[in-house]
Amino acid sequence: MPGAGQDSGPDFELRSDPHFEVRAYLLGDWTVARTMLDRATGSRGTFTGVVRFTETNDGGLSFREEGTVRWNPAAEAAFSGPASREYLLRPAATPDTMDMFFPDGLPFHRIGFGTQDNQDSHWCDPDTYRVRYTRVGPAEFRYRWDVTGPAKDLLLESVLHRVATPAAAPAGAAGRGVVPAAVNPRIVVSAVCVFDATGRLLTVRKRGTDKFMHPGGKPEAGETAAQAASRELAEEVGIIVPPEDLEPFGSWLAEAANEAATQIEATVFTAPGSWTAHASAEIAEIRWLDLSAGLPDDLAPLLTDHVLPLLGVPPAPNS
């Protein structure tokens, strides 16, 4: 399988290194930004989210990607929504490559970053998928899928950046491709987009803070993301929406609004319908955000960097 169907492209500068460990390099969390082009129709799209590589008992890795996809068909209405996928990575003959499999165990392709093994292909009837990997540095790598055949003509390009040091990287891993990155504490939260009858977005400010954000908060023990969102919505602003009625909107890593050098891992939902709200519990103030007007400068990064762009709100002039 390795090397089959290699495509042309710029020469990769890093030579194969049998001491480079792909597993140690990938282990941990990465952000991913992907562009997608359907060359047959001119349709374009993007995907933004998080990729997690976690250890498995067979010496491999579990791959899970989740985030938000946006697609703009050439002749149809644009749409967006949550998306996720999973794969399994298993050790190959040498530590500088790994084999990727679908969750059902069927083979997919080989991952490598050296000059002889950074390209591979996969035939998915009736089309051929060609992939090329590029390691830019200790905290960034890229891969490019070129899909051709009678059914598809696609180009997908992904850029990944490390967001945490691999939690279980073995001693000396820095010499084998893993360089520790700055690690910020991370808080897992759920948040909810709530709109009123005029289409304004609900934002809240908690006591002792100066940033406005979604209603929401941390899950309690045993709660799902949707259960936490439903509970927080009721406690903070008096809006009752059962967890099963909340609509998934997306998942992101973002800078925390009120905790220095801290990230949030946010799962965002939408409450269907239009609502009124009142401040309760720890909420000091509520404010309905007019998405057609200029943005205030006291919004949380999750809103400005991720949610508002997806809602079609242009960034503030100085952001």
Determine the pLDDT at residue 176: 47
Domain with CATH 3.90.79.10 in the chain: 186-310
pLDDT digits (tens, 9 = 90+) for 84-100: 899 999 999 889 999 99
Vertex 224 angle, CA 219 and 257, to 5°? 40
Which residues are bridge partners to 287 per DSSP?
A: 203
Residue 18: per-residue pLDDT: 57
Query: Superfamily for 22-176?
Result: Calycin beta-barrel core domain (2.40.128.20)
pLDDT at 317: 52
Give the pLDDT of residue 17: 54
What is the per-residue pLDDT across 106-152, written as a single tens digit (0 to 9) for each?
Answer: 999 999 998 767 899 998 999 999 999 999 888 899 999 999 999 99
Query: Which pTM does this prediction carry?
Result: 0.55
Superfamily of domain covering 186-310: Nucleoside Triphosphate Pyrophosphohydrolase (3.90.79.10)
Residues in the chain, how many? 319
Tell me what pLDDT residue 121 has: 92
* Cα distances (angstroms) measured from residue 187 to each of 205, 208, 219, 252, 270: 18, 18, 10, 12, 20
Q: Which residues pair with 266 in a beta bridge?
A: 189, 252
Q: What is the pLDDT of residue 173?
A: 46
State the Cα–Cα distance between residues 317 and 314, nearest whole angstrom. 9
State the pLDDT at residue 78: 77
Q: Where in the chain is the domain with CATH 2.40.128.20?
A: 22-176
Q: Which of 1-5, 37-41, 162-166 has the lowest mean pLDDT?
A: 1-5
